[in-house]
Amino acid sequence: MYISTVVGTVTPQQCAMIAQLSATNNRRDDVTGLLLFNSRRFLQVLEGPKDAVDRVFTRIHGDPRHRAVVKLREGLIDTREFGEWAMAFDDPARPSVDLKDKVAALLVQAGPSTRAHFIGSADMHRPAA
């Protein structure tokens, strides 16, 4: 699991392209997990064969859209928390009130620590009341 800060602005269209390309690459590499983009930060958990996860993380670390990439957690797991790869993102110009709910639905099988990180990050980007 890592967190990073976005460089510049990422539009909803760019998020959709990132999601599509990542899903294709991750299926090929047998990597699953969840990526959350809350218009400021990327938070992602990756799971799969160690060498494949390491390659994906190295690619992310070198991606110019990320700065201040911080690995939050690394370790072996008995079973995957995510059967597929998923991405949740919000439009920075029009944040939705239900991003937290969307993320919570994707975290049904996730452990408490993973849930806490993702729900907290989704909660950080809410529309003004």
- Angle ∠(89,60,95) on CA atoms, nearest 5: 15
- Mean pLDDT calculated for residue range 57-74: 94
Domain 2-123 falls in which CATH fold?
Alpha-Beta Plaits (3.30.70)
What's the pLDDT at 51? Answer: 96
- Percent of the chain scoring above 90 in pLDDT: 32
pLDDT value at residue 13: 82
Show the beta-strand stretches assigned E in the chain.
Answer: 2-6, 32-37, 41-47, 66-71, 85-89
At residue 12 the predicted structure's pLDDT band, cuts being 50, 70 and 90, is: confident
Whether the predicted model's global pTM rises above the 0.75 cut: yes
